[in-house]
Amino acid sequence: MKISIIIPVLNDAHQLAQQLARLQEVRQSGHEVIVVDGGSSDETTQVQDGLCDIFSVTRPGRARQMNRGAELARGDSLLFLHADTCLPPDFSQLIERALHLPGPVWGRFDIRLSGAGQIFTVIAWMMNLRSHVSGVVTGDQGLFVLRQAFHQVGGYPDIPLMEDVALSKKLRRVAWPVRIRTAAVTSSRRWEQRGIVPTILLMWWLRLLYFCGARPASLARKYYGRSS
């Protein structure tokens, strides 16, 4: 099974350089790496040179960028990966094994946060539990899906926030996500920069508003307004 690893970026040159260095071994084993830039003004273009199989530039918007990567992908499965999420070394074998099981067409990794301290262990445990119970996979968790199933449900809706929740709801109708318990490590900078409690409360509040029917554009203004 060939995996297309799709990385959406916007001014993430430093994180992208580290991510691409980690992915060279899987490139050499036959998988492909696709970087989709949302119009960065930093050194993203120079960083990716020679270290990915496909580089594309599109208008900013994570959903739009990931859909573009899926259009260009040639793999049997798609892995949507944030630049600051570090997958376990054997992630390609784990994905292949998961998707060869009867039934699953998509899934995700458990996560661990990079920050030191027990509170980050608790946050990661809560995120993993929530995903296990709800079947909703967020971007930090390394969502992977058979390419045919991704296109069957129409890909990511072109919305500025909650695109991963919306895709999960569509894929859940096809099959429940498979859980890979070997953890990926994702950056804790969001909690460190904005504060742990305010970040948790904000994300819970935005998800509640979304499930109650709030428009993603309105939620994006709340989210990015708070994070600026």
Measured distance CA(106)–CA(104) in Å, rounded? 6
The token duo for 138 is 């967020």
Q: Does the CA dihedral 168-169-171-172 come out positive or negative?
A: positive
pLDDT digits (tens, 9 = 90+) for 78-117: 999 999 999 999 999 999 999 998 888 999 999 999 988 8
pLDDT the model gives residue 121: 93
How do beta strands 32-37 and 54-57 pair?
Answer: parallel
Say if residue 228's pLDDT is above 50: no
Q: Which residue has the higher pLDDT, 217 or 67?
A: 67
Q: Name residue, tokens 């094994």.
A: 97
Measured distance CA(225)–CA(223) in Å, rounded? 5
pLDDT the model gives residue 210: 67
pLDDT the model gives residue 225: 65
Tell me which of 3.90.550.10, 1.10.10.10, 3.40.50.2000, 3.40.50.720 is the CATH number of domain 3-189: 3.90.550.10
**Mean pLDDT, all residues of the chain:** 91
pTM for this prediction: 0.89
pLDDT the model gives residue 112: 95
pLDDT band at 204 (very low <50, low <70, confident <90, very high): confident
Say if residue 200's pLDDT is above 80: no
Residue-range domain boundaries for the chain:
3-189
Average pLDDT over residues 197-210: 73
Strand partners, 3: 77
Q: What element of type H or E holds 20?
A: helix 13-28
Average pLDDT over residues 113-135: 92
pLDDT the model gives residue 191: 72
pLDDT digits (tens, 9 = 90+) for 34-83: 999 999 999 999 999 999 999 999 999 999 999 999 999 999 999 999 99
Helix, strand, or coil (residue 41):
coil
The token duo for 93 is 């074998």
Say if residue 4's pLDDT is above 90: yes
The token duo for 209 is 């508003």
Say if residue 32's pLDDT is above 90: yes
User: Could you give the residue ranges of the DSSP H alpha helices within 31-117?
Assistant: 44-48, 62-72, 91-99
Angle between helices 196-211 and 216-227 (to 10 degrees): 170
pLDDT digits (tens, 9 = 90+) for 148-177: 999 999 999 999 888 999 999 999 999 999
How do beta strands 3-9 and 32-37 pair?
Answer: parallel
Say if residue 227's pLDDT is above 50: no
Measured distance CA(3)–CA(153) in Å, rounded? 19
